């Protein structure tokens, strides 16, 4: 029986498994997290193909636990190496949707900041100028709608820094809805209003360009006044 922490399969072949990750599910199992996309994918492939023993699933990129959306997994080590390299050099095109607090003042533009993770708090600090240990974070944005004190943004990160979107938006005074770690006033149980909407990359073997997309989960019906489409499943 499906549960709210099951993934939805968007695409599958001998080299890739692409899923829509639900919010509240970690990508990897950790010391405090037993359930994960990695564990779910192993079980899914084991049962579907009746594979005994260990099933290979390669993690080539991540989404924070409270974030939903498109996640690409590798089914072979060769695919994992090639996909990881695409993410490393920035040839993967990623599009996120976010609902943030306040009326975002600009219709479109680019944010260029310097970010640094604080080891004790797990938060990322944002600076306008480079600091020791900081890294450049570049984010393109477009405001799609606004109303009721909220704004719906489409985001294209050009760098892949930890918590980059969450920290940069909060630094502007527009934290993502439900993101308590970065100062949101609202509660969005088990989630924040950040969704990996679309991802485009090169197939690791066939070399053709592939694009995957997934509508936000049903909890995003809260933002219907903004016109955000949601998954009907």
Collapsing DSSP to helix, strand or coil, 44 comes out as helix
Kindly list the distances between the CA atom of residue 232 and the CA atoms of 42, 218, 227, 229, in Å, as whole numbers in the listed order: 26, 7, 14, 9
Phi and psi for 33 in degrees, rounded to 5?
-135, 110
Q: How far apart are CA 230 and CA 233, in angstroms?
A: 9
CB 18 within 8 A of CB 10: yes
Q: Could you report the per-residue pLDDT of 162-183, keeping only the tens digit for each?
A: 999 999 999 999 999 999 999 9
Q: Could you report the per-residue pLDDT of 33-44, keeping only the tens digit for each?
A: 678 999 999 999
Its pTM stands at 0.94
Assess whether 64 carries a catalytic annotation. Answer: yes
For 70-93, b/e burial (b = at least 16 CB within 10 A) is bbbbbbbeebbebbbebbeeeebe
Q: Could you report the per-residue pLDDT of 75-119, keeping only the tens digit for each?
A: 999 999 999 999 999 999 999 999 999 999 999 999 999 999 998
pLDDT of residue 33: 64
CATH superfamily of 8-225: Pseudouridine synthase (3.30.2350.10)
| pLDDT grade for 233, boundaries at 50, 70 and 90 | low
| pLDDT grade for 3, boundaries at 50, 70 and 90 | low
Q: Could you report the per-residue pLDDT of 180-220, keeping only the tens digit for each?
A: 999 999 999 889 999 999 999 999 999 999 999 999 999 99
Q: Which of 6, 13, 64, 113 is catalytic?
A: 64
- Supply the mean pLDDT for the chain: 94
Q: Could you report the per-residue pLDDT of 61-80, keeping only the tens digit for each?
A: 999 999 999 999 999 999 99
Q: How far apart are CA 100 and CA 223, in angstroms?
A: 11
CB 220 within 8 A of CB 195: yes
Residues in Cβ contact with 30 at an 8 Å cutoff, skipping those fewer than 6 apart: 36
């Amino acid at each position: 029986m499906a549960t709210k922490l099951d993934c939805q399969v968007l695409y599958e072949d001998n080299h890739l498994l692409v899923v829509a990750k639900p919010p509240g599910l970690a990508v990897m199992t950790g010391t405090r997290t037993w359930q994960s996309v990695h564990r779910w994918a192993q079980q899914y492939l084991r049962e579907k193909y009746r594979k005994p023993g260990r099933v290979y699933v390669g993690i080539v990129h991540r989404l924070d636990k409270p974030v939903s959306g498109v996640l690409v997994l590798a089914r072979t080590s060769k695919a994992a190496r090639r996909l990881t390299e695409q993410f490393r050099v920035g040839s993967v095109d990623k599009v996120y949707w976010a609902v943030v607090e306040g009326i975002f003042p600009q219709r479109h533009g680019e944010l260029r900041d310097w970010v640094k993770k604080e080891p004790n708090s797990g938060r990322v600090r944002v600076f306008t100028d480079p600091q020791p240990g900081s890294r450049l974070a570049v984010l393109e944005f477009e405001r799609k709608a606004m109303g009721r004190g909220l704004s719906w943004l489409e985001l294209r990160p050009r760098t892949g820094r930890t918590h980059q979107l969450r920290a940069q938006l909060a630094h502007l005074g527009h934290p993502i809805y439900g993101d308590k770690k970065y100062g949101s006033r609202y509660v969005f149980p088990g989630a924040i209003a950040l969704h990996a909407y679309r991802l485009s990359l090169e197939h690791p073997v066939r070399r053709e360009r592939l694009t995957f997309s997934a509508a936000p989960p049903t909890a995003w019906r809260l933002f219907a006044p903004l016109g955000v489409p949601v998954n009907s499943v």
